[in-house]
Chain A
Amino acid sequence: MFKLERRVYPSRKTSGLVIFLSFLLAFFVTGLIFYFLGVNVVQFYSIIGNVFITPVLFLQAVFRSIPIILSSLGLVVAFRMGFWNIGAEGQIYLGMVAATGIVILHVFYDAIPVSLMLIAMGVASFLAGGAWCLIAASLKAKLGVNEVLTTLMLNYIAMLFVDYLVYGPWRDPEGWGFALSIPFPDYATLTFGGHPSVAGITISVAVAALVYVLFKYTKLGFVLSVLGKSSEVAKYAGMSVGRATLLGSLISGGIAGLGGFYVVSGMIGRLRPRASPGYGYTAIIVAMLAQLNPWLILPAGIFFGGLLTAGDALQSLLRLPASTITVFQSVIFLCIVLAEFFMRYKVVLKR
């Protein structure tokens, strides 16, 4: 008879191994699915693998991974404090809105000097993303509303708000009626270092370092970790639970907001509807795959950026629909959930 037994304290080694095995399982299961759909699996995986060994494609993978990495780093903060923020997608959109808003303020009202543009855009998108997350956090702190629902629902509000802006007041007057904002001037785009991914990866590494330092050395980080494990104990220890929740969610949403800043300022150069193909949702998978370790977010994020890049190749070479990659992502997610289970329990043989 097989029986499930609770692990007393899962070691880091077992966790790592279980996650790695589940990751391999995802490749296997995905392969199986596409095999039965009549896809050449070897070719399928070689196209994906090709992305990571071809410099041009790899650069593209890094480029597309930046918003995933940033919002995922935001999620690390939220998840570690036990705040189940599913709203990175919405926070990304708010970040885009704020960054675009600064550009419009500058172009039409001349409110901000050129030299401060990028900094102002970064700060504004951080605050906007943070504020969006703060709505859910204060509803939780004050009224006990479940944050999974609120953050998720706020995503749709944010997305539709962007639609409203670009179809309405923020539509480029010289844009032939397309639903687009004005294009960003050069000094409002993240192009330093030649390729926008250079700026992106610099910001990502810096934010990862900040998140690492937050939890490793700061008082706030410590309070957030205790809160994530047991809010009762946090209260007992005299920690200001409410303030920490608000501060933590501000940081979490803010970092995701930076991801939105990168999307408009580094990737597209203007605001358009549905500018994020679900970066904020992919970020959840990345955060879990990286086991909430800020450094591991970087490679995990690049892997998923690579999948997005491979998606284009799959479409043209194997004539597979764009949603193919979504299937792969979802299988990975399910396997990680399975892994979480096996981290807590082990199967033992009982006679």
Chain B
Amino acid sequence: MSVTPLVELRGIVKKFPNVVANDHVDFSLMPGEVHALLGENAAGKTTLMNILYGLYHPDEGEIYVKGKKVKIRSPADSIKLGIGMVHQSFRLIPVHTVWENVVLGLKEAGFILNKKKLAETVKKVCEEYGWNIDPNAKVWQLSVGEKQQVELLKLLIRNVDILILDEPTSVLTPQETKNLFKALRIMAEKGKGIILITHKLEEVFEVGDRVTVMRKGKVVATKPTNEVTAEELANLMIGRPVLFKLEKPEVKKGNVVLEAIGLKAMGDRGVLALDDVNLRVHSGEILGIAGIAGNGQEELVEVLAGMRKAHGGRVFIDGEDVTNKGVKYLIEKGVVYIPPESTRWALVREMRLVENVALKLYRSKDFSSKFTINWRKLFEFSKKLVEEYDIAAHSPSILASALSGGNLQKVVLARELSTTRDGKVPKLILAAYPTKGLDVAATEFVQSLLLKYRSLGSAIIFLSEDLEEIMMLSDRVVVMSRGRIAGEFLPTEKTIEEVGMMMVKDSAA
């Protein structure tokens, strides 16, 4: 191998508070290759690429570009080195034209713009890649695929030869995806190197020459794509975490608590995120929902919690139609919701612990009269919760921001589990990634809590990125893919590998 790699990363380490996002990562990119960077969400792919792009600075490790050791302090540095990145969210100015967006910040454009010449260059590059965009069109008039082409144009005009694309297909239609891949191949033929961040297996085989799989901040494999199978990649990507046993008592399934029929909902980007989802959960049952992040699981629990509107289908709780009845109504029905990143979305950090306990309880008759809140009672109640859940807070009047992540998660759980409907057992518990980011002891605590409420007769929907955890805790598992239910089975019926395959097959970002 006499060819110098375009990029070589050696032993990159990047630590964030509480996590090591990149743990001694080695990575290389050859000229003329499309290198897929595969991994689950939070595997460290984007962090690694942000380091290469100059947005983050590595704590350790070396970066070589075209054989020379470099320090990349900012995106401006990386562009000088010929590195360009297309982010998931586009960085374009909608009210400006295509060529205006392209030349924005372009040094070669000079002080006085030669509009004609520039528009011509833009046109020429477009023709090369078979794109059909009018340089004088305003960006807001373009389709998503075309906007992405403008982003690429920006890089190509700057003679970038190392392109990083962060999950570029997540917003594209299948046809647009095909066009993008065609353009990527042309770029590769011209000797450019392309890094494709993705978590879709089929893309790896469709355009990739080599693939690097990351998991939990580490590179687990780098291989030519013609030497691996989809199954191998799926296993590498999802991996097998350490097992620890939990005692799971027998519980008799009760009546149907939740029934969802033909549920449809839009995602934040305005595309269909839930498509004809049918679900049933019984009292005393944990339904695990598996899937690659971004396949509709979060939208599903949001709809069930009343946080997101259902555009079609119906939701029943205890036989009552509660479709789109709103958060407050559902809380009163006994629906408990632990949202993803609950320490951020279910707590106010700048408020005191007791106020966070009061977030939903302040409406309860036990703690308030018609207009006023009985803070003294809430204070006593918070004290009880602090003791019961072993929260490391010496008083309920401390600010939530003074507590650690694990303790904050405990605060959310304590409030949600013990306090809805004035002390009664919650009817339905929606737990979205409740163990994410917790240490082993805290994870075990959360799991045992869910099992406790299962015994008490709550119906539970449980989301986790850890497949092992889902298989261990659930009575029944549902796999979601592209907003649909891709399969349903008992945890004893399938192996982790089979489920992993189901998740990755046909999944979306």
Pick from A222, A229, A235, A238 the residue with the most CB of B within 10 Å: A238
Interface size on B, residues (CB 8 A): 29
The secondary structure that dominates the A interface is helix
Does A349 sit within 8 A of B, measured CB to CB? Answer: no
Q: How far is the CA of A237 from the CA of B328 in the complex (A)?
A: 7
Contact code string B331-350 (vs A, CB < 8 Å = 1, else 0):
10000010100000111101
Determine which of A217, A226, A236, A240 lies in contact with B307 in the assembled complex, contact meaning CB atoms within 8 Å.
A236
Determine which of A9, A229, A238 lies in contact with B327 in the assembled complex, contact meaning CB atoms within 8 Å.
A238
Q: Which residues of chain B (338-376) have a CB below 8 Å from chain A?
A: 339, 345-348, 350-351, 355, 358-360, 362-363, 368, 371-373, 375
- The answer on a CB contact under 8 Å between B346 and A219 is no
Supposing A9-B350, A219-B363 touch, asked if A235 and B402 sit within 8 A by C-beta, the answer is no
Does A218 sit within 8 A of B, measured CB to CB? Answer: yes
Q: How far is the CA of A12 from the CA of B358 in the complex (A)?
A: 22
Does B399 sit within 8 A of A, measured CB to CB? Answer: yes
- The answer on a CB contact under 8 Å between B372 and A218 is yes
- The answer on a CB contact under 8 Å between B350 and A238 is no
Q: How far is the CA of A328 from the CA of B163 in the complex (A)?
A: 55
Does A230 sit within 8 A of B, measured CB to CB? Answer: yes
Residues of B within 8 A of A240 (CB): 328
User: B165 to nearest A CB, angstroms?
Assistant: 30
Q: How far is the CA of A230 from the CA of B351 in the complex (A)?
A: 11
Pair count A-B, CB < 8 A: 60
Determine which of A218, A233, A238 lies in contact with B371 in the assembled complex, contact meaning CB atoms within 8 Å.
A218
Q: How far is the CA of A4 from the CA of B362 in the complex (A)?
A: 38
Residues of B within 8 A of A222 (CB): 355, 358, 362, 373
Contact code string A218-243 (vs B, CB < 8 Å = 1, else 0):
11101001100110110111111000
Does B28 sit within 8 A of A, measured CB to CB? Answer: no
Q: Which residues of chain A (191-236) have a CB below 8 Å from chain B?
A: 217-220, 222, 225-226, 229-230, 232-233, 235-236
Residues of A within 8 A of B358 (CB): 222
| Nearest opposing residue in chain B for A240, CB measure | B328
Does B177 sit within 8 A of A, measured CB to CB? Answer: no
Residues of B within 8 A of A230 (CB): 348
Pick from A9, A218, A219, A236 the residue with the most CB of B within 10 Å: A236
Determine which of A8, A219, A232, A236 lies in contact with B372 in the assembled complex, contact meaning CB atoms within 8 Å.
A219
Pick from A219, A220, A235 the residue with the most CB of B within 10 Å: A219
Determine which of A9, A226, A238 lies in contact with B331 in the assembled complex, contact meaning CB atoms within 8 Å.
A238
- The answer on a CB contact under 8 Å between B373 and A238 is no
Q: How far is the CA of A230 from the CA of B307 in the complex (A)?
A: 15
- The answer on a CB contact under 8 Å between B339 and A226 is no
User: B451 to nearest A CB, angstroms?
Assistant: 25
Q: List 9 A-B contacts (CB under 8 A).
A: A217-B372, A219-B363, A222-B362, A230-B348, A235-B307, A236-B345, A237-B360, A238-B327, A238-B360
- In the complex, besides A232-B345, A237-B359, 10 extra interface pairs with C-beta distance below 8 angstroms are A9-B402, A218-B373, A219-B363, A219-B371, A222-B355, A222-B362, A237-B327, A237-B360, A238-B326, A238-B360
Closest 9 pairs (CB-CB, A-B)? A238-B328, A238-B327, A237-B359, A9-B401, A229-B348, A217-B372, A238-B331, A9-B399, A237-B360
Residues of B within 8 A of A (CB): 306-307, 326-328, 330-331, 337, 339, 345-348, 350-351, 355, 358-360, 362-363, 368, 371-373, 375, 399, 401-402
